[in-house]
Chains A and B, each alone.
Chain A
Amino acid sequence: MRFLPNPLRFIPNFKGFDFFPHDLRLPFMSYKGLCLGLSIVGIVLSLLIIGVRGFNYGVDFKGGSMLEVQSKSGPADIAALREKLGKLGLGAVQIQGFGAPSDVLIRVEEQPGGEAAQQAALAKVMTALADQYTQRRIEVVGPAVSSELRLTGIIAVVVGMLAISAYVWFRFEWQFAVGVVLSLAHDVLLVAGIFSLFHLEFDLSIVAALLTILGYSVNDSVVVSDRIRENLRKYKRMDLDELLNLSINETLSRTILTGVTAIVVLISLYIFGGEVIRNFNLAMLLGVVIGTYSSIFIAAPLLGYLGVKREWVGAAVKPAAGSAARKARRENMAFK
């Protein structure tokens, strides 16, 4: 490679804009009681809202049919559609505009009489629409599949949380795992609560979003935990609260920069990504914001309450970064 001219010589050297004051020491830990309190209130409110209002389940979980249709000419006449479909005797038929004025989303509730009845209802609606609308999307889910999907959805989120906390337990200590699992439950419950409050449609894609939120939020928590572990080795006599606060502050620039990048990308997906995945993107957006908050204000402060044994960090490690790195490398290899 030596004989080739190095193309990187032509890239100008310039420093990035280090937007973040690094000696900043925000006293996060002094607000830990307030934040935990707020979050507990948030969780209780979420549970209450979910309990009272329930979810606006999509066809995936509720069963029934959903059709997205496009008017063949001009904007869709929703009132006329409502009247026409109301006469079919299919129970509650929800009709709403969907993005463009020519697009309409129709939801037909689950028909009594099992799987075949859903297909019969769909056929009726299709016949009624055939001359004025073209179909863009049809989703019909029968009672057997919808109840299965509800169950798998719940199992997936719970298993996801358990898998993550098992991993964190394995890599760190049980206190970290408890902190992480509580903050994850916090994230999931708050996003679910917001969906329930605003009656946003809750379907299988939202479960996927919740799982991704778990991944993102734990990512944040792991970065902070990693720093906590490192600092525990480095500063043996520092007060735990002070040490947690230091760790949060040291990783804050990364937390914010990564969070901002993710949020910018998600906003772009939310605005330009189309109607079909809008709710999915909204859930992700909420999750990233809440997840970032929880890893700073919930996961780390919880460690302060649970307490961390200092001994597990390993005896007689010199605070020098070089030896910490070597030890870390060894750990990493052992882990692999």
Chain B
Amino acid sequence: MLHFSTWKQVAIILTCLLGVLLVIPNFVSKETLATWPRWVPKTQLTLGLDLRGGAHLLLAMEVADVRKDWLNTLRDDARKRLREAKIPVTAVGITNNAVQVRLVKPEDTDAAFKSLSGLIQQTGNLILGTTVTDLEVTKADGGVIRIAPTEAGLQHRISSAISAAIETVRRRVDAMGTTEPNIVRQGSARILVQVPGLQDTAQLKELIGKTARLSFHEVHPAMSAEEGRQRPPTGYKVYESDDREEGAQLLNETPVVRGDELVDAQPAFDQRTNEPIITFRFNNAGARKFGNFTKDHVNRPFAILLDDKIISAPVIREPILGGTGQISGSFTVETANQLSIQLRSGALPAKLTIVEERTVGPSLGADSIDAGSRAGIIGAIATIVLTILAYGTFGIFACIGLITHGVLTVALMGLAGSALTLPGIAGLVLGIAMAVDANVLIYERIREEVRAGRTPIAAIDAGFTRAFITIADSQLTTLACALVMFWLGSGPIRGFAVTLTIGICTSIFASVTVVRLLIYYWLNANKRGRLTELPV
């Protein structure tokens, strides 16, 4: 029958109180909150970007770039290995997404195969717990050996490139001084960047839109760019300038030093011309390489490349042994600042393109909060009035259940750390309307049982028991939809799905258990034995 043991009553009431305690911080400013005693929960609901304003960028990594880079490295490694093994080759080139080696003497094939097989690495497969090889080395007729990346190897490369890119992007975004940026991987080759409060995304896009791969190259001692274009000597290539001031140059393809050997880069001003410049410092290895190079190339030009474009090609006046230097390249204060941030945070492993952008200004966010809460309050009041009109005193209990439902939903959202979005507010309000359905089912059932001639208490009991199956069925089907939405989930929709899911979970407790407890108390207050009629 309708009975609650004492511990059960205490547990239900404590749960409700805990919910209230968790919701209170949302109505208090952050400053007041700081003065409260330590034991009081202080978590506030995080607002989604559409409510608090901010930028949401989805970046995609160029998978082709990752592959190309890897093949280039492979080609260099293959050359080096064969040179060390003293196996002469006619050509080492890249064809059809593979490195192809043509040997001078076909009888060297086995030795070369053995040497090149050393390039193969094992990469772990996290899901299967097995290891797979990242390369496939195959022999063909006529002294040809192919080194082809496997799909697993490529995936592994992309995966580590994405992790590296996330770190780089984070350092760059942090350099802007914004608060709480959220930078996470999405799917196999995408990065989601969310920066709350940021409205002008131009600077952000500029910062993460550049690979910022810096390299220092030797200029060909004798040939000009024009001559090089017609008949490029091995190992040299013509590089274009980025249209600042230098023309095209014929440069050694292998850089002397790369940007990853920089330890610092800062914007500064040239003391003579007062132009914005960038000063940099190499690490020890970089400093040594750069020192040796400049010692050997005094009075000859070298080129500084950014993303394979020449930004500056100064002449070496004297050996630079301290490992520090400066780049001047007709920068503005702003571009110098930006480039130094990019250089400090390291190069991106591959180019990132923006495939989706959603930015909400703070004024729209504030308007949305106003509109959402106004609509929510009006909708909730309408629901309460309707419920009390339809079900009298029991309707009041249902409304207390509804309020508990709202409180617990907000409390759980705060605990789960899920952000409240504008569709989330709609989900919350809709959740209230759907939670009322549980009470409608119960009360209609009770009325039916009364009409069928049951005593009040038996009718209440039968009403709750019978309606519960239907409630569970209907909530679970809605849950199925919410889970599908979560899976579909992009930003705001996921917010809606989360609110809906939490709402479904709390509604069983709030609209069934709490209301049942209230009716139990009401029965106690109204001397259950003498009851002849139910206020429903």
Contact = CB atoms under 8 A, between A and B. Distances in A.
B522 A18 contact: no
Nearest to A204: B493
Contacts of A214: 481
Contacts of A17: 389-390, 392
A273 B535 contact: no
Contacts of A271: 375
Interface stretch (A30-38, A47-55, A141-149): A141-149
B62 to A, nearest CB: 10
A260 B371 CA distance: 22
B472 A281 contact: no
Contact of B485 (A211, A324, A335): A211
B535 to A, nearest CB: 4
Contacts of A261: 382-383, 386-387, 433, 436-437, 440
A265 B432 contact: yes
A136 B360 contact: yes
B481 A16 contact: no
A136 B363 contact: yes
Given A211-B481, A264-B379, A272-B375, A115 B354 contact: yes
B470 interface: yes
Given A17-B390, A18-B447, A261-B386, A149 B490 contact: yes
Contact of B480 (A118, A164, A205): A164
Most buried by B among A13, A171, A284: A13
Contacts of B9: 1
Contacts of A202: none
B353 A116 contact: yes
A16 B363 contact: no
A315 interface: no
A278 to B, nearest CB: 10
B363 A254 contact: no
B382 A226 contact: no
A119 interface: yes
Interface stretch (B80-88, B128-136, B460-468): B460-468
B364 A137 contact: yes
A115 B462 contact: no
Contacts of B383: 261, 264-265
Interface string B195-238: 00001011001000000000000000000000000000000000
A331 B485 CA distance: 29
A276 interface: yes
Interface in A244-289: 250-251, 253-254, 257-258, 260-262, 264-266, 268-269, 271-274, 276-277, 280-281, 284
Given A123-B202, A163-B484, A215-B481, A205 B356 contact: no
Contacts of A167: 476-477, 480
A8 B484 contact: no
Given A1-B9, A115-B355, A219-B437, A205 B364 contact: no
Contacts of A160: 480-481, 484-485
Most buried by B among A141, A155, A266, A273: A273
B35 interface: no
B488 A153 contact: yes
A219 B476 CA distance: 9
Contacts of B358: 137-140
Interface in B408-448: 422-423, 425-426, 429-430, 432-434, 436-437, 440-441, 443-444, 447-448
B482 to A, nearest CB: 7
Contact of A139 (B357, B395, B536): B357
B3 interface: no
A16 B394 contact: yes
Contact of A11 (B58, B201, B396, B434): B396
A332 B423 contact: no
Nearest to B55: A138
A129 B383 CA distance: 44
B156 to A, nearest CB: 23
B372 interface: yes
Nearest to A163: B480
A19 interface: yes
Give 7 closest A-B pairs by Cβ, nearest first.
A274-B371, A215-B478, A16-B392, A215-B481, A272-B375, A16-B391, A265-B379
Given A250-B448, A264-B433, 4 more contacts: A136-B364, A138-B201, A167-B480, A212-B485
5 contacts: A11-B393, A137-B358, A212-B485, A254-B440, A280-B426
